[in-house]
A = this chain, B = another copy of it.
């Protein structure tokens, strides 16, 4: 789908049917999918973030509370990316002066984990305001606001996390600024075993480690792997997926930021993972596996290894989330 020439002011919003409140979950995401730097990513069933959104009388958009961020995220509605994106959307719809919205953000996932934390929050917020308004926008029309949220949060407007968070499944983002997003089929038994070691790797630093220029020979290896991975996903060929999921470009630079990276990799591959690599810019790592059992075993062994080296960690074992964000029953 080539995305969006928005004429949002032509959207009809029926103020009589706007909901009073809505609760939305949006999934964490594994950007890059090991070999597809800046173009591939997938969503997972857990973790993810939650937004509760309330319609109120006083016009404007406000953050009512944030839970689970350790106080790191701004409550100022113009600085918080969730509320800022919601404001932007309401402004483009021409109704920012006419509606009041308050947001509770419940973070179920760590910030700076390499799991698309900001994307999950932004997508949850935008999916929530759209649901509150009676879904006037398609997901494709919501996408540019999600990307803008990434620009606010990370300093660059990449879609590699927001695309799978919003669309669900495995997404290919090609065309850079043109934002051409292609859904790739999800093999049924594909599981992600994610381990988030408690070390800090800021995204900006991780990007700075990457060199501007790469050897053409490495690039050829990488795009052969990417083509093999896409073909393997279409054919549900787990062996081809496994042979193809190698990153010769980014991993060598970024792995040095992640303690025990190569030991974890050895554990993952020797215990049956199809592939192992960095999730986004890290420090989370992901063992892509065939079946839940392998993912469970691999993540447990990696956690044991980290623990023996004095590093605490979280783990998440999850199928690929094919749905993207969803409205949850409201619990006060």
Contact = CB atoms under 8 A, between A and B. Distances in A.
Contacts of A219: 214, 219, 222-223, 249
Nearest to A219: B219
| Listed residue (A173, A174, A216) with the most chain B CB atoms within 10 angstroms of its CB | A174
B228 A174 contact: yes
A160 to B, nearest CB: 10
Interface string A181-214: 0101000000000000000000000000011111
B2 A182 contact: no
A216 B210 contact: yes
Interface stretch (A33-41, A42-50, A124-132): A33-41
Given A184-B231, A223-B226, A243 B175 contact: yes
A243 B179 CA distance: 12
Copies of the chain in the assembly: 2
Contact of A230 (B213, B216, B221, B227): B227
A172 B227 contact: yes
A257 B249 CA distance: 30
Contacts of A210: 216
Q: In the complex, which range does the number of interface residues on chain A fall in?
A: 35 or more
B224 A175 contact: yes
A222 B223 contact: yes
Interface string A241-259: 0011000010000000000
A330 interface: no
Given A212-B215, A244-B174, A226 B228 contact: no
Given A213-B214, A216-B211, A249-B219, A228 B176 contact: no
Contacts of A223: 36-37, 39, 219, 222-223, 226
Given A175-B243, A214-B216, A231-B172, A39 B224 contact: yes
Contacts of A227: 36, 39-40, 172, 174, 182, 226-227, 230
A172 to B, nearest CB: 5
Given A220-B39, A249-B216, A180 B226 contact: no
A240 interface: yes
A234 interface: yes
Contact of A215 (B37, B39, B213, B228): B213
Interface of A: 2, 36-40, 172-176, 180, 182, 184, 210-217, 219-228, 230-231, 234, 239-240, 243-244, 249
6 contacts: A36-B227, A180-B240, A212-B216, A213-B216, A214-B216, A223-B226
